[in-house]
Chain A
Amino acid sequence: MKAIEDALFALFSGDDGTLVDPNGTTALNSLVGEEIYREGSVPAEAAFPRIQYGPCPGVDIFTFVSRSYERVTFPVKAVDSGLSAEAAFAIRQRIDFLLTDRPLELEAGTCIYLRRIGTFEQPEYDGDQHYQHVGADYQALVA
């Protein structure tokens, strides 16, 4: 869903620490700067650590009359290079704060629910290069 993808990019790129997390997470502009990409649009020269989000497919929920809402499930992950996943974990923690019970501002539709449904961690080895993928799946309901 394009509206969700646009809202995610706006949220992540605009996170300058104005939203203060009681758990003390650091703003994304300090953690990743401008390295925020939609999955499939990551340029070869993109730096680490970075955020990759999407795709955002949905399932339509109809009532008798019309479509009530769309249930959209999407991953957001931090990708870092090296053996340590500490930076990636810090990014995921901040993303979790930004996306938990804080419905997105959408250009089309209204986000009535947004929560994390699960996490994933996946180290990647490419020859002598090591990468860390640390992310989570989120579910939004869009009316």
Chain B
Amino acid sequence: MFDVSLGPDNSAAILREMERNLERAETESASRCAETARRTVRRRSGRTAASIEAHPDGSVTAGEASVFLERGTVRMPAFPFLGPAFDREVEPTVERMREI
């Protein structure tokens, strides 16, 4: 007979495993988002593309001219890349979370 109830003996281990899987899913989502952003960002010097980074906490950052590219200026139209990259990762991220 198998007892698979969630009790004080195994709940901590299960929660730790869930946390690890969650972190893995977040990191993977951030990496894919950053990858898409690097591929689609408008390039001249390549500095903005090189500044795009995925972080272990699931965030993606971009430096250099990223805000001007994303939102545009009076002299330059917007060339969004972070927003669309994030949008593309929403469904795959939800699927990864479902598997935890």
Contacts and interface: CB of A to CB of B under 8 A. Distances in A.
Interface of A: 39-40, 42, 52, 55, 57, 59, 61, 71, 73, 75, 77, 79, 81, 120, 122, 124, 126, 129, 131, 133, 135, 137
B78 A75 contact: yes
Interface residues of B, number: 15
B87 A57 contact: yes
Interface in B53-80: 67, 71-75, 77-78, 80
B23 to A, nearest CB: 25
A59 B88 contact: yes
A23 B70 CA distance: 31
A71 B74 CA distance: 28
Given A52-B77, A133-B71, 16 more contacts: A52-B72, A55-B78, A59-B90, A73-B83, A75-B71, A75-B78, A77-B71, A81-B74, A120-B71, A126-B74, A126-B75, A129-B74, A131-B73, A133-B72, A133-B73, A135-B71
A79 B74 contact: yes
Given A52-B72, A120-B71, A122-B71, A39 B78 contact: yes
Interface of B: 67, 71-75, 77-78, 80, 83-84, 87-88, 90-91
Contacts of B83: 73, 75, 137
A40 B80 CA distance: 12
Contacts of A73: 83-84, 87
Contacts of B90: 59
Nearest to B40: A57
24 contacts: A39-B77, A52-B72, A55-B78, A55-B80, A57-B80, A59-B88, A59-B90, A59-B91, A71-B87, A73-B83, A75-B78, A77-B71, A79-B74, A81-B74, A120-B71, A122-B71, A124-B73, A124-B74, A126-B74, A126-B75, A129-B74, A131-B74, A133-B72, A135-B71
